């Protein structure tokens, strides 16, 4: 304590710097991408799965689907933005459920004892999982011409910002759930009663119908509806958007909800992680 060499040592005990934080964010981000890109089996599965869902469910329901006011809209086209969002949701679920094991007996233990903060941990993991979801969603966009969308006419800015905000919101929410529940079984349960129904009731599979009051309410309150809306809007000129195909009435509202969800979910997971010590 009175040792003169301790002065230098005390100087070393500095608070985590911005570089420490960035190191943590980038390491977690890189790790998820590295693991995704290096597994050919995972890549093939990730790209085939949405096509199979789209062709099977889209084809199966095509003959029964009709939207009042937009009679020319095929179900394959209506369902397409929903599948794009599904890729982001699935990537978020599968990317964050692994946190439960990783945290107690895996790589994350080492991350937790590194100098960066837990907020950096949340951000890095969320960006890693989001990137994996984005890659899968974008790969599926190659099928857009088969749904009657021209790749050249897509509003890419709207599409990408919707996907990024949606991916960050869902992956951060998934992370918060995984950390808080701390049990894979409990996560699976929440996935089946909240996350998957949340996707079904987001306008991904069927449009909102005012006659079904309760369902309409749920769909209006569901943040995922606005993510699907944002993606859907990017495929059409504003004037060509099929009537009644979106939950919200304006793009501004969609963006406000998406941005709010992304920031809110990030803050929620940072809080959950911080209070767990």
Residues in touch with other proteins (CB under 8 A)? 1-3, 5-6, 9-10, 12-16, 19-20, 23-24, 26-27, 30-31, 34-35, 39, 102, 104-117, 277
Q: How far is residue 23's CA from residue 239's CA, in Å, rounded to a whole number?
A: 46
Q: What is the DSSP letter of 192?
A: I
Q: Which residue has the tokens 């060499």?
A: 5
Q: What is the DSSP string of 232-252?
A: HHHTS-GGGSPTT-SSSS-HH
User: Which of 166, 179, 164, 173 has its CA nearest to residue 118?
Assistant: 179
For 38-66, b/e burial (b = at least 16 CB within 10 A) is eeeeeeeebbebbeebbeebbeeeeeebe
Q: How far is residue 133's CA from residue 93's CA, in Å, rounded to a whole number?
A: 10
Q: How far is the CB of 124 from other proteins (least distance, A)?
A: 10
Mapping DSSP to helix (H, G, I), strand (E, B) and coil, where does residue 267 land?
helix
Measured from the CB atom, the residue of 118 and 232 that comes closer to other proteins is 118
93's CB contacts (< 8 A; 6+ apart) are 174, 191, 195
Q: How far is the CB of 37 from other proteins (least distance, A)?
A: 12
Measured from the CB atom, the residue of 33 and 139 that comes closer to other proteins is 33
Q: How far is the CB of 8 from other proteins (least distance, A)?
A: 9
Measured from the CB atom, the residue of 129 and 144 that comes closer to other proteins is 129
Q: How far is the CB of 96 from other proteins (least distance, A)?
A: 15
Measured from the CB atom, the residue of 128 and 230 that comes closer to other proteins is 128
Q: How far is the CB of 107 from other proteins (least distance, A)?
A: 4
Measured from the CB atom, the residue of 111 and 143 that comes closer to other proteins is 111
């Amino acid at each position: 304590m009175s040792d003169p060499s301790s002065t230098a040592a005390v100087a070393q005990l500095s608070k985590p710097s911005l570089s420490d934080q960035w190191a943590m964010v980038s390491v977690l981000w890189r790790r998820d991408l590295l693991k995704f890109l290096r597994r050919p089996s995972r890549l093939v599965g990730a790209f085939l799965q949405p096509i199979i869902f789209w062709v099977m469910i889209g084809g199966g329901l095509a003959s029964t689907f009709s939207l009042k006011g937009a009679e020319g809209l095929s179900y394959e086209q209506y369902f397409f933005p929903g599948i794009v969002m599904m890729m982001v949701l699935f990537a978020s679920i599968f990317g964050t459920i692994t946190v439960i094991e990783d945290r107690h007996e895996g790589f994350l233990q080492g991350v937790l004892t590194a100098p960066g903060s837990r907020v950096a941990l949340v951000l890095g993991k969320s960006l890693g999982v989001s990137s994996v979801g984005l890659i899968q969603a974008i790969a599926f966009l190659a099928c857009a011409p088969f749904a009657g969308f021209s790749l050249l006419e897509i509003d890419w800015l709207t599409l990408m910002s919707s996907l990024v905000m949606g991916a960050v919101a869902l992956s951060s929410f998934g992370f918060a759930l995984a950390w808080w529940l701390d049990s894979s079984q409990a996560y699976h349960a929440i996935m089946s009663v909240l996350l998957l129904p949340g996707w079904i009731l987001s306008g991904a599979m069927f449009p909102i119908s005012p006659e079904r009051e309760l369902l309409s309410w749920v769909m209006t309150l569901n943040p995922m509806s606005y993510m699907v809306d944002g993606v859907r809007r990017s495929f059409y000129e504003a004037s060509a958007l099929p009537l009644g195909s979106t939950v919200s009435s304006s793009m501004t509202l969609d963006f406000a909800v998406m941005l709010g969800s992304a920031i809110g979910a990030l803050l929620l997971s940072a809080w959950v992680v911080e209070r767990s010590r």
